[in-house]
Structure 1
Amino acid sequence: MILESARDVIKKEAEAVAGLLDRLDENFEKAVRAILTTSGRVIVTGIGKSGLVGRKIAATFASTGTPSVFLHPTEAFHGDLGIVTENDIVLVISKSGDTSELHQLIPAFKRLGLQIILLTGERESPLAERADIIIDCTVKAEACPNNLVPTASSTAALVMGDALAVALLRMRGFSAEDFAKIHPGGALGRRLLVRVSDVMHTGDKIPIVTESTSVLETLIAMSRGRLGTAVVVDDSGRMLGVFTDGDLRRLSERGEQFYERKIGEVMTRNARTINPDAILDEVL
């Protein structure tokens, strides 16, 4: 019973998302181009579950190169309208297309001459009549047995918001490096912003030996450096190769006496190198 219910919900929501493919039309393109030509921000608004979806869409826009902010309809009437400028564009989210709070908010946007994009499940609705661009997010039914709780509809709206964000991202040429610049605190941001020079060991911290150094002496130098590797150089300081704990393990497995051998005989030549200015992600 429980698993059957879960499967039914997932199936209905998956069908709702798949149904969006048939509803994509020139209005979606118009919305993307309208946002691209806007010099201000995307003001996203909605209430209830649509408002929660709107918050996520606004956050996704902002984190992918499209300046955006969520405006709560109720708070808008008590001063938050001050964040809206005549350079912005509005994305209204309403499943029914007949949300009273949004009806009251539309005139304020119109006075500023803003374009209004409506993301809705009802193309023939009061809000649709007042919108400049309508994106159809109609679903056949909600996933709940009473067809009341916003489930499939909110998922569809969320996915359509992601579709807008990614379309904008691609049109802007927004790169991984751009993403990292506005996500400096995240793991991806650190990986894409940190350079090899920021984390590499230099100078006396690196065990350096010459080709004629014995394996035993090299191991002593490695133990002092605590890096698990030694760099082998020629008389001019040019790197010839490396000797690592992996090389030591392979020597040990052969069962040979190697401690007095010259490190140049057993080192790994042609070791891979990278420019200190390279992004750490290139190494990883």
Structure 2
Amino acid sequence: MATSPSPQMNDAAGLAASGRRVFEIEAEALAAVAARIDGEFSAACHLMLHARGRVVCTGMGKSGHVARKIAATLASTGTPSFYVHPGEAGHGDLGMITDADVVLALSYSGESDEVLMLLPVLKRQGNKLITMTGRAGSTLAREADVHLDVSVPAEACPLDLAPTSSTTASLAMGDALAVALLEARGFTANDFARSHPAGALGRRLLLHITDIMHAGDDVPRIGADATVSEALVEMSRKRLGMTAVVDGDDRLLGLYTDGDLRRTLDDNRVDLRSTRIADVMTRAPKTIGADALAVEAAQLMEAHKISGLLVLDTDRRVVGALNIHDLLRARVV
């Protein structure tokens, strides 16, 4: 049966005070657990670092949710890992765990039946077992090869029932393991991007100019003898707001852009139909190499306040073109 909220807790000040208490209690819990990071922590890292297989995380209830997140964090930072539900493990999913794997089992009480049920099979198979509990004398702690003590002074829940500080401490311990392993492996931002290709970092670090540039017949280009009028036709057809001016071997001679056109129109002496593009083009435009990253193009455009770039090969031949809209579509900027 639902209870009515107490009058003193039904106002903004009371609710805010309650929220602040949670942060204070959980901060104290984290400090207490951090003080216990010692040789056991290092031993756990050593087992994970030298595992021939993967790190299999398991736990029941709230500990299971934390274990699932730890597995995801490990996997994305260079330590192959996955989560196995202990209840499902007893009904066939144990077959997912090989003798080359290290098992990380979470249970704050250290007595979760579903987790303890797995121990005989894991021991028989020869798996190294790392446990994370709040009771150093529990069954799970005693059976572990390495035990990580995540006991906390108090739960943030005023009834001391809902896992709050304890789950925060376990989650932080998992993050500590993941970061320590990341640093030990020399895991880099590029490595992270490879496992997050759909994320913003992945796009920034993995997407190359060649992935988004216009190439072939889509690249606007004219010869140096073309008129300004002919340049405008090419720019309109290719719709990139610019055109390359090239020699007979497609080597870059200059660039003509929408901005150049506005300046040309301001000069009353220029006849669009008779003026050669070579007389009004930009002769040393900013360009980028075909092997560069897309993010480098974004940085170059921003630094020089331009909206488009020509892409050149090592012989200064024009092989592509892109503008700010291409970067926006690729979500690089």
TM-score range, shorter chain: 0.7 to 0.9
Alpha-carbon deviation of 1:273? 2.8
Secondary structure of 1:209 counterpart: strand
Alignment check: 8 A CA contact 2:132 2:141 kept: no
Distance 1:74 1:214 in 2: 77
Structure 1 residues 13 and 263: alpha-carbon distance in aligned structure 2, compared to 1, 3 A threshold: farther
Match of 1:277 among 288, 291, 304: 291
Q: Does 1:146 align with 2:159?
A: yes
Alignment check: 8 A CA contact 2:108 2:166 kept: yes
Equivalent residue, structure 2, for 1:239: 252
Q: Within 5 A, what are the aligned runs for 1:1-284? A: 1-211=14-224, 213-234=226-247, 236-248=249-261, 251=263, 255-257=266-268, 259-260=270-271, 262-284=276-298
Structure 1 residues 12 and 240: alpha-carbon distance in aligned structure 2, compared to 1, 3 A threshold: farther
Identity of aligned residues (%): 51
Alpha-carbon deviation of 1:246? 4.0
Distance 2:200 2:154 in 1: 39
Distance 1:258 1:45 in 2: 79
Unaligned runs of 5+ in 1: none
Distance 1:247 1:113 in 2: 73
Distance 2:15 2:224 in 1: 69
TM-score, normalising length: structure 2: 0.74
Distance 1:274 1:204 in 2: 19
Secondary structure of 2:254 counterpart: strand
Alpha-carbon deviation of 1:227? 0.7
Q: Size of the alignment, in residue pairs?
A: 282
Superposed CA offset, 1:206-249 (max 9, x none): 22134454444433321121011211224543213323334445
Structure 1 vs Structure 2 CA RMSD: 2.7
Alignment check: 8 A CA contact 2:78 2:187 kept: yes
Once the two structures are overlaid, the 10-residue window that deviates more, 191-200 or 34-43, is: 191-200
Secondary structure of 1:146 counterpart: coil
Distance 1:258 1:108 in 2: 90
Alpha-carbon deviation of 1:53? 0.6
Superposed CA offset, 1:142-169 (max 9, x none): 2222222111221221122122122222
Distance 2:211 2:191 in 1: 20
Unaligned runs of 5+ in 2: 1-13, 299-333
